[in-house]
Structure 1
Amino acid sequence: MTADTHSPTLLASTHRRLLVAVFSVTSTIGFVAMVQILPVVLVPIAADLGTSRTAVAAASTVSTLMGALVAIPVGRILDRHGGRLVMTGGSAIGAVAVLLWSQVTSLAMLYVAFALIGLALVMSTYDSAFAVLVVATEPHERDQAILAVTMIAGLATYLVYPLLGWTVSEFGWRTTLVILAVTLAVTSIPAHLWAVPSRETHLSRVRRREGFPVAAALRRKRFWLLLTAFVAQAGSAAAFLLLIVAYLLDVGHSTAVATAVPIAVGVLQILSRLILTTVARRVPIAKATAFAFAVQAAGLLLLPLAGLSIPLTLLCVAAVGLGQGVAVIARPSILADSFGVVHFASVLAAIAVPTALARAGLPLVASWLGDWRFLVLCGVVSIVGTLALVPLLGQRRAHAG
């Protein structure tokens, strides 16, 4: 064969690696600037605004609800026009939102900034990146591309906390946010404009692919089982992560232990993705996901029995990290396999909306229950998610995309 014969394949492979590299960087910066920084600056913001920490933390709920509101229209635009303008525009909106956040003088301004952040996250981070990747890559490369992006971004967003803490202590929270806004603007905007395929390229690839429209997907039992599984996992994990530190303090752990133990969630999220890269070619991803969700459920239900045992507590907390780490990868992968890629972003959005509502709502119910009962609630919900996957384990892929 001549070099010309190989050139389209080499070009596609090079572009896939470029997209993975760009999305790894831009997702990291986007999450750090719009999500990870909030816990670090929550206390000084509350002090400056003269309000409660709860009121400041509620800004994340505003962001989540805005994300749910715009997910479906953004998904439709991604399907019809590709991701270049959507992701570039989302990065610009995110930079403006973080800059506005740095200047807030009231809760109303803070909530406006976070409404824009909710829009920007949908347009410029994981879900949009996945929508671009499933169209731009071949089916046999898809999972590895998604794994690579989530591995790198997941690890980087946890490692950056010490740097964020130092920046806030040295320059204050407002200057830190200005730095993050500028960083987001000068990296993500040009990177998305340069690397994300154009509308013409997107449409040319879509014409050669297949997929179910959203209306057709909604008529399939498989869609509702997957929706149940991923909504249940996301809601239970969100409630757990919100309340775990308070729970550990209540049962008698020291502040140092209570604040350090949740790190196990982040560690297992990373390790679970490493493991998945190893077993993905041998074990169907639906089976790996069902196993991870079952482990999450077991960890949640057994945690009240761990008492003050730090090793047992770590194991139970890490189980949630396993479920969370696998879920991020499994959702786009299984949906693309099941319903194809032509309408992938819209189908993904149809599940993203109830998922976002669960992340916003279930923590409130769990907080009302309090003590060990919230863990039982989260464990039972995780079991429901696991059972929803069971009917799919023996099925062949419904669609290769």
Structure 2
Amino acid sequence: MLQIFVWGGSFFLLAVMGEPIMRDTGWGSQWVYGALSLSLMISALLAPISSRLVARHGGRVQLACSGLIVALGLLIVAASETLPVFLLAWAVIGIGMAAGLYEALFSTLGALYAERAGRAITGITLISGFATTLAWPLVAWAIEHVGWRATCVGYALLLMLATPLYLKVLPGGGRLRQVKGSTEQSSPPVDRRLYALLIWIFALGAITMTAISVQLVAVLQGLGYSLAAAIALASLLGPSQVASRVLQMIAGKRHPIWTALVSAVLVAIGMLLVAFAPGATAVGLLLYGLGNGLRAIVRGLLPLVLMPASQYVALMGRMSRPSLIGQALTPLVGGYLMQHFGAMGVLVTLCSLAVINVVLVGLVLRSLQRSPAHEP
């Protein structure tokens, strides 16, 4: 639940709040939605620092502070009367995102539990799949009744009350010191080829997810669907993402490379159906949602298996930077494609990225099958 609150008050907030802010202030969409790009870019730049802090001090306090930082940003949003102050607010929110979203949380769990972190990561991503399902209706209802500024204040108070609970739900640093006790000299070297492949796999998956999160409704309308039909189709994503994570838990333990392959194939097939089979748009979105739901699990588990345990925390921070930079640029590039090439231009680009991702996961699988140390 704590992750739902932080995601809902940061990454997913403008999907619902952007339009009311533009109506009230007159600021252009490129500035309002560009504020999220600013947040993501700051989060990308700070990701390695965030992981180093987790490695050095443990993540309990950092995760608890992340919600307070996002809350401070939301209070500045509520008080912003000028565009520079609004952008400053989202810069602060970007700091909170670096301190408390998945990368920091996965690093904390990996540091605390090492190889046993997989079950916790799967469970957390399962619950977090409800972020948009819960946060969007709540924020929309609050905006309708009290306006967007008061909604920001209320959400900030919620974060101030909720996120310090990290101090209770996560154990202290005793277990962390055991993992930190491993010396780098005793750790096997990082396979640079696998490392590069994982960076690209995670980056392409994050770009696709961001594009869908920001532009899906507009793309569906560009394909001829009414606003109501587009929103109804988009609502299929949340339940399908959660369903895939439930199935992952039921399926039991297997090497996460197989989960990565299933995720990439489902996303690719889903995108291709949406783009080239108009009668199967709902099926395509369900398949995409299933694949994207597994993507979050893969992001935490695959590096945990393929990288030395003593280096997991530091590597997670470095690996997340390209993904976050790609996410920051996605709204701008997606807007350009939509303006100049329409909905099909966006979809063809996403289909291409999804197919490339399948190939990259296949290359990782082939490398593992040749390597007895990581054989799936």
The partner residue of 1:150 within 117, 122, 125 is: 125
2: CA distance between counterparts of 1:278 and 1:384? 29
The aligned counterpart of 1:236 is 208
Number of equivalenced pairs: 368
The aligned counterpart of 2:245 is 273
Shift of 1:201: 4.3
In the TM superposition, what are the counterparts of 1:382-397 in structure 2 within 5 Å?
Answer: 382-393=354-365, 395=368
Confirm or deny: 8 A CA contact 1:233 1:323 kept in the other structure: no
Shift of 1:266: 1.7
The aligned counterpart of 2:228 is 256
Q: In the alignment, is residue 302 of structure 1 matched against residue 284 of structure 2? A: no
Unaligned runs of 5+ in 1: 1-24
Shift of 1:294: 1.6
CA change 1:349–1:212 in 2 (3 A) is: farther
The aligned counterpart of 1:288 is 259
**1:324-343 CA deviation, whole Å, 9 max, x = no partner?**
21111111111011113323
| Percentage of pairs with the same residue | 25
1: CA distance between counterparts of 2:187 and 2:143? 47
1: CA distance between counterparts of 2:209 and 2:168? 36
1: CA distance between counterparts of 2:131 and 2:68? 22
2: CA distance between counterparts of 1:352 and 1:291? 21
2: CA distance between counterparts of 1:124 and 1:363? 22
CA change 1:211–1:111 in 2 (3 A) is: farther
SS at match of 1:343: helix
2: CA distance between counterparts of 1:347 and 1:113? 29
**1:172-229 CA deviation, whole Å, 9 max, x = no partner?**
111111111111112212x123443444542234326989989x53x52111111111
Unaligned runs of 5+ in 2: none
SS at match of 2:320: helix
CA change 1:239–1:166 in 2 (3 A) is: closer
Confirm or deny: 8 A CA contact 1:339 1:399 kept in the other structure: no
1: CA distance between counterparts of 2:186 and 2:353? 29
The aligned counterpart of 1:192 is 166
The aligned counterpart of 2:35 is 59
Confirm or deny: 8 A CA contact 2:15 2:214 kept in the other structure: no
The amino acid that maps onto 1:179 is G
For the aligned residue pairs, the C-alpha RMSD in angstroms reads 2.4
Confirm or deny: 8 A CA contact 1:147 1:329 kept in the other structure: yes
The aligned counterpart of 1:9 is none
The aligned counterpart of 1:26 is 2
The aligned counterpart of 1:12 is none
The amino acid that maps onto 2:236 is A
**1:313-359 CA deviation, whole Å, 9 max, x = no partner?**
01112232222211111111110111133232221111111101212
The aligned counterpart of 2:196 is 224
CA change 1:330–1:398 in 2 (3 A) is: farther
CA change 1:244–1:58 in 2 (3 A) is: same
CA change 1:70–1:399 in 2 (3 A) is: farther
The amino acid that maps onto 1:378 is L
SS at match of 2:81: coil
CA change 1:241–1:30 in 2 (3 A) is: closer
Confirm or deny: 8 A CA contact 2:217 2:230 kept in the other structure: yes
**1:354-392 CA deviation, whole Å, 9 max, x = no partner?**
101212224433433333122121111111111111133
The aligned counterpart of 2:151 is 176
Q: In the alignment, is residue 373 of structure 1 matched against residue 345 of structure 2? A: yes
